[in-house]
Amino acid sequence: MFSKCANPACQAEFDYRQGRYYRFHRRPSDDGQPANTHSVQHFWLCGECCETYSLAYAEGAGILIRLNLENAFESDTPRMIAVD
């Protein structure tokens, strides 16, 4: 479970009444064992951060925080927040 916003630059404490939840399936482990079908990671962006950012999975990189498309600038690069 999470206790704060997934944005590393934000320290907002979890509040179930606001923000946006994300759920990503875990990939199989490096030893070849398949991931449990119920093996997921949960993330939360606070109300302020979810207006500007979203979370996305990138193969080989993990979970990334990105600017929302309507707010994106070409010079902005996604930041990794979790690795599978």
In-domain check, residue 3: no
In-domain check, residue 49: yes
Confidence band (pLDDT; 50, 70, 90) for 75? very low
Instruction: Give the model confidence (pLDDT) of 25-61 as tens digits.
Output: 876 666 666 656 567 889 999 999 999 999 998 888 8
In-domain check, residue 12: no
Contact 6, 77 (CB under 8 A): no
- Look at residue 78 and give its three-state secondary structure: coil
**Structural domain that includes position 63:** 20-82
In-domain check, residue 2: no
pLDDT of 4 above 90: yes
pTM (2 d.p.): 0.68
In-domain check, residue 56: yes
Report the number of distinct structural domains present in the chain.
1
Contact 78, 57 (CB under 8 A): no
Phi, psi of 26 (to 5 degrees): -75, 145
Output 27 or 72, whichever has higher pLDDT: 27
